[in-house]
Amino acid sequence: MSPANSAQLATPEVVRRQVNLFDLQRQKSRLGAEIETRIDKVLDHGQFILGPEVEELEQDLAAFAGVKHAIAVSSGRDALIMALMALDIGPGDAVFVPGFTFSATAGSVASVGAAPVFVDVREDTFNMDPEDLERAVERVKKDGKLTPKVVMPVDLYGLPADYAAIGKVAAAHGMKVIADGAQSYGGEAGNSRVGALAPLTATSFYPTKPLGCYGDGGAIFSTDDNLADVVRQIRHHGRAGDGDEALRLGMTGRLDTIQAAVLQVKLAAFEHELGARRRLAAMYTERLKDHIATPVIPNGYDSAYALYTVRVKNRDGVRAKLQEEGIGTGLFYRIPLHKHPAFAQWVREDEHLPVSEALAEDVISLPIHADLTDEELDYVVTHFLKAIA
């Protein structure tokens, strides 16, 4: 046999890849040197709490979101807590949260002594269902035990909730809206970016969020001067500026200067990263749309694609098959909020959120991050289609 023939007969080598759900090491090879320089500067000037980087970052975060105020804080959950504190929410108050989200959404409500009330989500967008919100508010009013005060929609996987419809329900019942935008910084609805879609918005800079730092961090956005002042006091022990006096109850709720320095570098690259995520999401959708339901992005909306999440039958089997091929997936979330032991006291006896419960059974998130290559995406799609066949 000639060498040419033997080459033709050889089995093509199957390239096994390792494709992680997230990959922060690649981002570090792009941005690491500059981040180290910025951190060194903080170590040199030594203003570790509310140093100059924090205020600079806040200005850039606000400008990016197109909103007047950004206040950098200690975490996404703390951002939610401080937003609730700024509205004086506490015992006896009802805060309406979606049934399908990370536990911190309802946890923040419980942390201020208020009662989370669970609202089902929509089958298409996975976000809070304004019609079920209306029903839940009516029920709470009829029960007469709690006062409906706040609606806290979540922008799940990076897609903003339907703030237009939710805002109408809130206004009709004299409630305020706090957006849980922990996953959606960079998301858009009707020419506004997340941060400008509600009077108060909380976001998270947890490392794997679309914009993440190297530790815990978050921000509160506000369109309201007075609320912004109040939040600034709350994050700093209830003090105004350098004043000694505690004007109100507060927290140790500031973002570290070092994390602000990290975020300055990452924010400068964020527009590019957001574009990369959106391009990859469009590729997934193009390749998958004839096989399964792909994420629904309503007209005028854009997602920050914190995650690219689809629904499959036999989800755990699909996940195991992908794992065998070196593909990391995520299950966000396996437990709807009303099934968490921590929230049992706020769950009605007949509580049933059919969409939230179904989603918890069959969602799976595929790898998406700014440094995922087209070849890797192709590898994921190929094995995903095999796994669901």
- Binding residues for ligand PLP, rule: CB under 6 A, are 75-77, 101-102, 104-105, 154, 180, 182-183, 204, 206, 216, 218
Q: Tell me the two tokens of residue 268.
A: 């400068």
Beta-strand relationship, 363-366 and 308-311:
antiparallel
- C-beta of 185: minimal distance to ligand PLP in Å? 11
Contacts 24+ apart (CB under 8 A), 296-301: 296/124, 296/125, 297/159, 298/125, 298/162, 300/189, 300/190, 300/191, 301/159, 301/160, 301/187, 301/188, 301/189, 301/190
CB of 261 or CB of 304, closer to ligand PLP: 304
Output the residue with the shortest Cβ distance to ligand PLP: 76
CB of 104 or CB of 151, closer to ligand PLP: 104
Q: Which run of H or E residues covers position 60?
A: helix 52-65
CB of 205 or CB of 379, closer to ligand PLP: 205
- C-beta of 107: minimal distance to ligand PLP in Å? 8
CB of 182 or CB of 387, closer to ligand PLP: 182
Tell me if 250 sits within 8 A of 238, measured CB to CB: yes
d(CA 97, CA 182): 14
CB of 308 or CB of 384, closer to ligand PLP: 308
- C-beta of 80: minimal distance to ligand PLP in Å? 6
- C-beta of 339: minimal distance to ligand PLP in Å? 17
- C-beta of 184: minimal distance to ligand PLP in Å? 9
Q: How far is CA 355 from the centre of its chain?
A: 20
Q: Coil, strand or helix: which one is 221?
A: strand
Tell me if 126 sits within 8 A of 157, measured CB to CB: yes
- C-beta of 160: minimal distance to ligand PLP in Å? 12
CB of 183 or CB of 294, closer to ligand PLP: 183
